[in-house]
Amino acid sequence: MNRKTFIKKAFLGALGLGTISGLYTWQIEPFWLEFVRRKLPVKNLPSSLVGKTLMQISDIHIGNRFDYQYIIDSFIQAQKLKPDIVVYTGDYVSYENEKQFEQLDEVLTHIVRGELGTFAVLGNHDYGHKWSEEHVAIQITDQLNRAGVNVLQNAKADIQGLNILGFDDFWGTNFYPHKVMDQYDASQANLVLCHNPDVCDADVWNQYQGWILSGHTHGGQCKPPFLDPPVIPVKNKNYTAGEIDLNDGRKLYINRALGHLWQVRFNVRPEITIFELTTEA
């Protein structure tokens, strides 16, 4: 094989590989949902909740950037698992205009609810443009509440002895976590929901010990094998995805997101997490 023929074949091979990779990151992985199953050990967990399932869904991003029929189909799949508790950790829309409220209502007719309760916190995109449009957050909160989802805005809810403490979004206009953390009782079972994991580094925790469930990062959406994702929307670049021990009695779990800001993923499949509640050893 002469040099010219070799270069031509190499170029065509690279072009073909690039086309296949491009199609995969655009049309396959963004819709290749993974149900991630894990145990969630909670201190002081009531015996009645041991073995119950808690499902986390995050960052569905309803809007015009991808076909959200995928979200509806994913919800229908998740409903079949009959979770006991469902928590949503923010970013229900990719807000451009009020059309997203209609789109969200369409999706919420298929919302996954827990047998024992369904809870949510807001994310930055739920505050509209520049995360500063409070009327957008009020509208989305109303829609979620009407769909049977208890939105926790710096508030807590009790579910058979498990306190679920919810922070409003770190970048939004209503971030006042002291309102709920002042109610933290270490003698009880507790679980914190917050959209943005950077909150873990803020001075708001009142000596909290336990799990924090968050989203926001999408795992970076694209991640080279064995390397960190090149783009991730947090100050603390250690907060990518999965379980992170904060080494102070707190543990963080970052969900990789069900939806996406843009329809592209590589090596970071979309996720719904199913936790089995257990007592802490």
Per residue in 57-89, pLDDT (tens digit) is 999 999 999 999 999 999 999 999 999 999 999
For tokens 């109303």, name the residue: 142
Q: What average pLDDT does range 197-221 have in this prediction? A: 98
More confidently predicted of 12 and 253: 253
pLDDT at 13: 45
Q: How high is the pLDDT of residue 19?
A: 60
pLDDT (average), residues 258-273: 97
pLDDT at 132 over 70: yes
Q: Which residues pair with 159 in a beta bridge?
A: 162
Report the percent of the chain where pLDDT is more than 70: 93
Q: In what order do the strands lie in the sheet with 34-42?
A: 34-42, 271-279, 53-57, 85-89, 117-121, 150-151
Is pLDDT above 60 for 1? no
The mean pLDDT of 42-54, rounded to a whole number, is 98
pLDDT tens-digit readout, 5-31: 433 443 334 334 446 677 899 999 999
pLDDT of amino acid 81: 98
% of the chain exceeding 90 in pLDDT? 91
Write down the pLDDT at residue 9.
43
**Residue 136 banded pLDDT, cuts 50, 70, 90:** very high
Q: What is the pLDDT of residue 11?
A: 37
174 Cβ contact partners less than 8 Å away, ≥ 6 residues apart: 122, 134, 137, 153, 154, 168
**What is the average pLDDT across 44-50?**
97
Distance between CA atoms of 197 and 220, rounded to whole angstroms?
13
Segments making up each domain of the chain, as ranges? 1-31, 33-279
CATH of 33-279, one of 3.60.21, 3.30.450, 3.30.460, 3.40.50: 3.60.21
Phi-psi label, residue 115: left if phi above 0, alpha if psi -120 to 50, beta otherwise:
alpha
Query: What pLDDT sits at residue 2?
Result: 53
Q: Alpha-carbon distance 182 to 175, whole Å? A: 14
